[in-house]
Structure 1
Amino acid sequence: MNYTASPQRYQDMEYRRCGKSGLKLPALSLGLWHNFGGIDNFENARTILKLAFDNGVTHIDLANNYGPPAGSAEETFGQVFQKDLKPYRDELVITTKAGYYMWEGPYGEWGSKKYLVSSLDQSLKRMGLDYVDIFYHHRPDPETPLEETMSALDLIVRQGKALYVGISNYSAADTEKAAKILKELGTPCIIHQAKYSMFDRWVEGGLLDVLEANGVGCVAFSPLAQGLLSNKYIKGIPADSRAASGRGNGAIEENRITEENVNKVIKLNDLAVKRGQNLAQMALSWILKDPRITSVILGVSKPQQLTDSLQCLKNTSFDEAELQEINSILA
């Protein structure tokens, strides 16, 4: 049976402007870092992607190395796109990245023009797309001049292979430099994708200020600290969790599930309940309270997790007492 998107798909989603660009992103985006690879259940992945779009999640976040195996998340997305989402291409913001290891030899990772252009060509083939909406440099390269990496992003836009460009995992200082180079080239950096959660607040140490000053949006990934900020670990490590499986580089480090952290999670959960939310919903709302945040990327393995996360949008404001309580719990 052919898929028809829900006519109510834009009813409950909030859309936020991406920096000073014309692009708006949904407050919640779907990340395909895990659970969409070649080793995962295709029909489950397909169900989640369609459910996301039915709820106004128009932004699908990928990278060349997502899987496992690397490349397979893009292939999975490509199949779902062909089967279900192709008629809605102009409503979707599809992103990918390059920067991590993909193939043998000196041109298979980092930030050279050779690697970035080749990698995006491969990504477009895997997904069956003519272009992506945003192409990111996935991590800074200490050896390639920043001018070369940024000029590659500029070239890719001029070639029509991406509409916009962004960076990920860059420090505040390097972000400032990258944004300046791209602005001079005439292809502004519109987005920075950074790790951000209640347990990992490095972006507050200058990066968010740099982004605001340069009109660059921010997309947060790992907002639940790989599941630590959910009810999952309150009673220890469940057998079906990523921590137990140790699967891939996104598995939570077992040493983070300490008695101290679990105690913090229990206290945060108590506050969430008072707010009428569960802990995961509050953790998402807490990031979205900052107007400098354009979107938060959800990583889900089951449709129900997506439906549950979407409920966070009902309450993204915090009073001063709540914020102080959160800071004292995390101190």
Structure 2
Amino acid sequence: MTYTPAADRYDRMIYRRCGKSGLKLPAVSFGLWHNFGEGTPHQIKREMCQTAFDHGITHFDLANNYGPPAGSAEEAFGEILRTDFAGYRDELIISSKAGYDMWEGPYGEWGSRKYLIASCDQSLDRLGVDYVDIFYSHRFDPETPLEETMGALDHIVKSGRALYVGISSYNSERTREAAAILKDLGTPCLIHQPAYNMLNRWVERDGLKETLQELGIGSIAFTPLAQGLLTKKYLGGIPEGSRAAQDSSLDADMITEEMIEALKGLNRIAEARGQTLAQMAVAWVLRNEGITTALIGASKPSQIEDCAGAVMNLEFSAAELEEIDTYASDKGLNLWASSSEGV
């Protein structure tokens, strides 16, 4: 059956300008990190992408190593571009990244010019596109000069492989350095992608949010739901098939009685706001427009629909924020600390 997008899709979403650029991004973006590999039926992937677009989510975020196996998420999305999204390329923002282990040998990860450019070319081939809208340095490389990494990003734009570039999980100091190099090269840093949620607040301690606003760089927060922890899924403990049960990016040891009680408290606040816990978690990340867009993941279409509904109520009273802080504080969930806080 031929897919036809919802006619009112752009009425369902809020769009925010990304930093000081001319680009607007949806307040909620869809990430294909989990559940887009070979273990998920292609029909489910199609339905998730269709649901996202039907709700005005125009930004689809990938990376070279997303799957599993690595590369399979880009291949799957490339097929969706050729079928369901054929004719809609100019309505989409497609991003990819390179920085983590992708292929064997000394040139298959980190931030060298050789790796980044080769990886970008491979991503374009898997996606079946001439360019991506945004290409990121996925993590800071402590052993490669930052000038080389940023120079590669500059070349990727000037060679037509990407329209914009960004960085992910760089701390405030490194962000300033990277942005200055890119500015001198004539290719501004469009966006930064840090992990951020109620239980992982390293960007606040680091001052990154203020740094990005000062520099005019946009932001896209990944893991706004704390790998699914900030949903109703764990209110009764650890369910079968969950990330915690599979020990997949969420440590089961985190699900203590204290944590469950805190989640229940947050859920009560969300219900009083007329939201699900997931919707409130997304709205909290987007509060006061300090973050441009929240990057959600999903395993089924209904989760995307739920999170997209967060844009119906993004305002918080001072009393609500204070009450949230009594239940939610930094729990040390930043799995990417070595690429952000630790560099």
- Distance in 2 (CA, whole Å) between partners of 1:330 and 1:12 is 29
Q: What's the TM-score once normalised by structure 1's chain length?
A: 0.97
Per-residue CA deviation, residues 115-168 of structure 1 (Å, 9 max, x unaligned), is: 000000000000000000000000000000000000000000000000000000
The equivalent of 1:315 in structure 2 is 313
User: Which deviates more, 113-122 or 32-41?
Assistant: 32-41
- Distance in 2 (CA, whole Å) between partners of 1:86 and 1:168 is 29
Cα shift at 1:290: 2.9
Cα shift at 1:84: 1.3
The equivalent of 2:71 in structure 1 is 71
The equivalent of 2:277 in structure 1 is 279
- Distance in 2 (CA, whole Å) between partners of 1:111 and 1:152 is 9
- Does the aligned pair in 2 maintain the 1:100–1:110 contact within 8 Å? yes
Cα shift at 1:246: 2.6
Equivalences for 1:146-295 in 2 at 5 Å?
Answer: 146-205=146-205, 206-247=207-248, 251-295=249-293
The equivalent of 1:327 in structure 2 is 325
- Distance in 1 (CA, whole Å) between partners of 2:227 and 2:162 is 29
Cα shift at 1:51: 1.3
Computed over aligned residues only, the root mean square deviation of the Cα atoms, in angstroms, reads: 0.9
- Distance in 2 (CA, whole Å) between partners of 1:220 and 1:315 is 18
- Does the aligned pair in 2 maintain the 1:75–1:127 contact within 8 Å? yes
Which amino acid in the other structure matches residue 132 of structure 1?
Answer: V
Identity %: 58
- Does the aligned pair in 2 maintain the 1:217–1:292 contact within 8 Å? no
Unaligned runs of 5+ in 1: none
Cα shift at 1:327: 1.4
Which amino acid in the other structure matches residue 315 of structure 2?
Answer: S
Q: Secondary structure at the match of 2:269?
A: helix
Cα shift at 1:96: 0.1
- Does the aligned pair in 2 maintain the 1:10–1:56 contact within 8 Å? yes
**Moved runs in structure 1, 4+ residues, more than 6 A?**
none
Per-residue CA deviation, residues 40-79 of structure 1 (Å, 9 max, x unaligned), is: 1110000110111111100000000000000000000001
- Distance in 2 (CA, whole Å) between partners of 1:94 and 1:265 is 33
Cα shift at 1:330: 2.5
Equivalences for 1:5-44 in 2 at 5 Å?
Answer: 5-44=5-44
Q: What's the TM-score once normalised by structure 2's chain length?
A: 0.94
- Does the aligned pair in 2 maintain the 1:39–1:69 contact within 8 Å? no
User: Which deviates more, 49-58 or 92-101?
Assistant: 49-58
Q: Secondary structure at the match of 1:95?
A: strand
The equivalent of 2:4 in structure 1 is 4
Which amino acid in the other structure matches residue 200 of structure 2?
Answer: D
Q: Secondary structure at the match of 1:174?
A: helix
1:46 and 2:30 equivalent? no
- Distance in 1 (CA, whole Å) between partners of 2:100 and 2:298 is 22
Which amino acid in the other structure matches residue 84 of structure 1?
Answer: D
Which amino acid in the other structure matches residue 288 of structure 2?
Answer: D
- Distance in 2 (CA, whole Å) between partners of 1:228 and 1:54 is 26
Which amino acid in the other structure matches residue 70 of structure 2?
Answer: A
Q: Secondary structure at the match of 1:212?
A: helix
- Distance in 1 (CA, whole Å) between partners of 2:43 and 2:215 is 41
The equivalent of 2:113 in structure 1 is 113
Unaligned runs of 5+ in 2: 330-343
- Does the aligned pair in 2 maintain the 1:150–1:181 contact within 8 Å? yes
The equivalent of 2:339 in structure 1 is none
Cα shift at 1:309: 1.2
